[in-house]
């Protein structure tokens, strides 16, 4: 293992580690370039005794397909919530194309499309109504919203169910309609928390194509995922987070160092148990 573990990392449960207050821009220097899609500096959040995110600094270049990987409870969702305006950070700042998310929230949010994980939708609306609704909330005129809604429902393969209430959608359809709602205002950056969970392989492939097209046309996508294979195939950049710390970040090639991303991830994060396992389970 050659990568440095960030100084705040601690594995002692219950020890109260200090929040990084000294240099909020530790790691990456200087103010962010406005061409950087998302710039994060010294982002930190504590819930009571537990430090969920421990001073993360990260640059997501414009036009990249960025994967965020980490074990359960690593702080991925917390970090994404802070970057998208859902959770106020204790420390640190986030810029979206040079606009501070917490100082100019309205302008920053207009540039982002967000798919939050495990969040309800306004599911008493039909699919078409929901996508239109989230379009109108962001301000484009009705004509544009109507055209884009039709397009999005078509590529998401939801056109047939446009008139069905979202509450009656399957899990995969719900995910797709949520994704459509996140893209309706033609954002520059898409932040997607677990976009492939509960989505069938065909829909997942369709979504991947849509995202790849979005990146090809200059957009930026950040996805979090547990599935290393998927990230390795799909993303060009990747960041590894564990216990609230950024363990590695960069292009996929740089991070995996010749190994498969999954092996490299296990190396970085640790926690594989070796030994007998559950001997009584073998009959």
Binding site for another protein (CB under 8 A): 84-88, 105-110, 112, 114, 116, 118-126, 128-129, 132-134, 136-139, 141-142, 145, 161-165, 167-170, 181-182, 185
Nearest partner of 181 among 137, 212, 124, judged by Cα: 137
**CA–CA separation, 249 vs 92, rounded Å?**
18
Taking CA atoms, 91 is separated from 13, 15, 124, in Å, by 22, 20, 37
Minimum Å gap between C-beta 99 and another protein is: 11
Minimum Å gap between C-beta 102 and another protein is: 8
**CA–CA separation, 216 vs 181, rounded Å?**
20
H/E element, 40: strand 36-47
For another protein, the closer CB: 56 or 242: 56
Taking CA atoms, 99 is separated from 41, 58, 62, 112, 162, in Å, by 13, 15, 14, 11, 35
What are the structure tokens assigned to 118, written together? Answer: 């495990």
Give one word for 179, left, alpha or beta, with left for phi > 0 and alpha for psi -120 to 50: alpha
Minimum Å gap between C-beta 47 and another protein is: 10
Minimum Å gap between C-beta 276 and another protein is: 27
Query: Do the beta carbons of residue 221 and residue 200 sit within 8 Å?
Result: no
Minimum Å gap between C-beta 117 and another protein is: 10
For another protein, the closer CB: 57 or 126: 126
Minimum Å gap between C-beta 237 and another protein is: 23
Minimum Å gap between C-beta 203 and another protein is: 16
Spell 117-129 as b/e; 16+ CB within 10 A means b: beeebeeebbbbb
For another protein, the closer CB: 73 or 139: 139
Minimum Å gap between C-beta 89 and another protein is: 9
Q: Hey, is 52 helix, strand or coil? A: strand
H/E element, 175: helix 171-183
Query: Do the beta carbons of residue 76 and residue 63 sit within 8 Å?
Result: no
266 alpha-carbon distance from chain centroid: 20
């Amino acid at each position: 293992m050659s990568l440095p573990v960030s100084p705040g990392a601690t594995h002692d449960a219950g020890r109260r580690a200090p929040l990084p207050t000294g240099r909020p821009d530790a790691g990456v220097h200087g103010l962010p370039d406005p061409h950087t899609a998302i710039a994060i500096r010294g982002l930190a959040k504590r819930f009571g005794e537990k430090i969920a995110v421990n001073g993360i600094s990260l640059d997501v270049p414009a036009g990249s397909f960025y994967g965020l990987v980490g074990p359960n409870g690593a702080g991925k969702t917390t970090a994404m919530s802070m970057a998208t305006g859902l959770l106020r950070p204790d420390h640190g700042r986030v810029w979206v194309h040079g606009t501070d998310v917490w100082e100019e929230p309205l302008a920053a949010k207009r540039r982002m499309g967000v798919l939050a994980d495990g969040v309800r939708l306004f599911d008493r609306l039909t699919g078409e109504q929901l996508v239109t609704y989230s379009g109108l909330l962001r301000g484009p005129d009705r004509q544009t919203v109507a055209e884009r809604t039709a397009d999005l429902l078509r590529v998401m393969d939801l056109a047939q169910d446009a008139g069905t209430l979202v509450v009656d959608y399957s899990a995969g359809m719900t995910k797709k309609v949520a994704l459509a709602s996140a893209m309706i205002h033609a954002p520059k950056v898409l932040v997607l928390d677990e976009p492939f969970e509960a989505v069938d392989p065909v829909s997942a492939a369709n979504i991947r194509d849509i995202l790849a097209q979005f990146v090809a046309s200059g957009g930026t996508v950040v996805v979090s995922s547990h599935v290393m294979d998927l990230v390795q195939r799909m993303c060009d950049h990747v960041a590894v987070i564990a216990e609230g710390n950024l363990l590695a970040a960069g292009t996929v090639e740089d991070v995996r160092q010749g190994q498969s991303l999954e092996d490299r991830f296990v190396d970085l994060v640790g926690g594989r148990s070796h030994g007998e396992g559950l001997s009584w389970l073998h009959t």
